[in-house]
A and B are shown apart, each in its own frame.
Chain A
């Protein structure tokens, strides 16, 4: 715990977190001001949260890890275990990013959209921050070189935020004659950004009061949501849907 305190102190001194909080606050506040409809504002906010939260979490955590190399070296010659030191570093980075997110996005949501959708958005943002901070630490541990570490982190972000969806779409279109739904469900469950997006979409569409509970049943959720995506897709393109006959959906 003491070590975490010093990590937090070091982070708060650098003001990056403060800037991040302000940015999130301004963006979400102005979105709620611009949009009349709360649901639309949440949707726009979702896009920003899905892109920005992972990006900042990854870049900040990687840089933080490399900057605290000396600190960790110093701690290692003291009577402290390696796991404890690394966990303190993670806790420091994750806690400060979380605080920034919850203040920056949480306060406007409390004022303008304090309903289940708003809280679902906060929940997904929290989960994304924690997930991408861990991935960033993994990327940083893999390489001694700072530039390479940050490069790897950015590449992972690109992959999850942009490339993955593109690949999935490509797969979907090139194999559209085959019953691919189960397979693509499985594939998109492997991407935390997709999971978060679908979770919020469900909230917006269904207004389900047990949203959190649903998330614990990913299989059901996937089927449900991909059914929607599919039916919309095929309705727009006016083709015979290969899954329309499927009784499982």
Chain B
């Protein structure tokens, strides 16, 4: 369970997060959705302690994020852009992670490792890997320690369709284990049968955090892309009348 209270973060003049309040429970799969630069990644990074918030409280399973790094053993994190030591080989990377972070359930979860056939490139240095393969390594690492909370930042961006499908299947499987999963994604069609909740964030402000059923009822739409298009239009329409971009009813963007 994650509890966020009055979270604020400023980067110089830019207000990246502005008074965020949210509670995520186990068993939920929450999609963090918002335009580019709306503060999604900053929110995730402050959850992991990679960004230090200016004020506010974050609690992971009752433990405040600020003092002890121990809570991170319950989180598996897949970054948007995975950066790894250039000279380290893929196999070494996994061995090192095992070394510094003992597995909670004895054996590591190698399912994704096998599905992506990463064992065959264990001898390759990280710097020679393509962007997509790096993503696969990041994904496999996030699931490797079977953590209770998974934080996936743009998990399917850059993956080929087959790998994206494999990853989605893995996420579904973990969802059944009553884990809390946070996903940010711009590829809304990828989220369709995965998520249970949507958190919509814009310019650092939380617009809503609602369950999918509730949103379906509210908007009368079935598909997530339609729901989001409807709501985005509503919110950005209110905030920015001058914009000459709008979202048509079928979810595509039109120029007025």
A interface list, Cβ under 8 A from B:
2-3, 6, 10, 13-14, 67-71, 73-82
Contact = CB atoms under 8 A, between A and B. Distances in A.
Contacts of B77: 77
Contact of A79 (B73, B84, B99): B73
Interface residues of B, number: 23
Interface in B162-180: none
A197 to B, nearest CB: 38
Contact of A78 (B83, B84, B87, B101): B101
29 contacts: A2-B99, A3-B100, A6-B96, A10-B88, A14-B87, A67-B86, A68-B85, A70-B85, A70-B86, A71-B84, A71-B85, A71-B88, A73-B83, A74-B83, A74-B84, A74-B85, A76-B49, A77-B48, A77-B50, A77-B75, A78-B73, A78-B97, A79-B73, A79-B101, A80-B69, A80-B72, A80-B100, A81-B68, A82-B69
B150 to A, nearest CB: 12
A180 B54 CA distance: 49
A70 B84 contact: yes
B70 A13 contact: no
A79 B71 contact: yes
A2 to B, nearest CB: 5
Nearest to B102: A79
A96 to B, nearest CB: 15
Interface of B: 48-50, 68-73, 75, 77, 79, 83-88, 96-97, 99-101
B86 A76 contact: no
B83 A70 contact: yes
A72 to B, nearest CB: 10
Nearest to A85: B69
Contacts of A3: 100
| Dominant SS among interface residues on chain A | helix
Given A77-B50, A78-B72, A79-B70, A13 B87 contact: yes
A45 B44 CA distance: 54
A209 to B, nearest CB: 47
A80 to B, nearest CB: 6
A6 B50 CA distance: 21
Contacts of A10: 85, 87-88
Given A2-B99, A3-B100, A6-B96, A76 B83 contact: no
**Shortest beta-carbon contacts, A-B, top 7:** A79-B73, A70-B83, A79-B72, A77-B77, A71-B85, A81-B69, A2-B100
Nearest to B142: A77
A87 B73 CA distance: 20
Given A70-B85, A79-B72, 6 more contacts: A10-B87, A67-B86, A68-B85, A77-B77, A78-B73, A79-B73
A6 B88 CA distance: 10
B235 to A, nearest CB: 31
A75 B48 CA distance: 11
B77 to A, nearest CB: 5
A3 B97 CA distance: 10
Contacts of B99: 2
A79 B75 CA distance: 9
Contacts of A76: 48-50
Contacts of B96: 6
A77 B86 contact: no
Interface centre among A6, A13, A74, A75, by most chain B C-beta atoms within 10 angstroms, is A74
A137 B77 CA distance: 28
A80 B68 CA distance: 9
